[in-house]
Amino acid sequence: MTDPKEQLQRDVERTRRELGETVEALAHKVDVPGRVKEQAHETVVRMTAATNQAIDSLPDPVAEQVEKARRHPAAIAAVLITLVLVIWKLTRRNG
């Protein structure tokens, strides 16, 4: 048989450990901004991996053009804005 004092000490230590785990879990649940940042980071990592995988599957000439475009996002944005404006003007004129 075990000593009741030792058994009580083990029970106290187990209870403290469980309480600590519970407090950690609750603190994590309450930290909404931290969880959002964590989830956003995980999403960025997943999307970056998916993008890289998609680029790797492209034919070489296309992949080279995509890499050039990734290095100059402002130029791409300018072209896209111009296209949107042209389409908008054309639809207003014909509408």
pLDDT digits (tens, 9 = 90+) for 54-76: 888 989 988 888 888 888 888 88
- pLDDT of 80 above 70: yes
Q: How many CB atoms lie within 10 A of CB 15?
A: 10
49 or 51, which is more confident: 49
59: left (phi over 0), alpha (psi -120 to 50) or beta: beta
1 or 69, which is more confident: 69
pLDDT digits (tens, 9 = 90+) for 19-42: 999 999 999 888 889 889 999 999
Grade residue 1 by pLDDT with cuts at 50, 70 and 90: low
Structure tokens at 76: 């791409």
d(C-alpha 76, C-alpha 74), whole Å = 5
DSSP label at residue 85: H
d(C-alpha 78, C-alpha 76), whole Å = 5
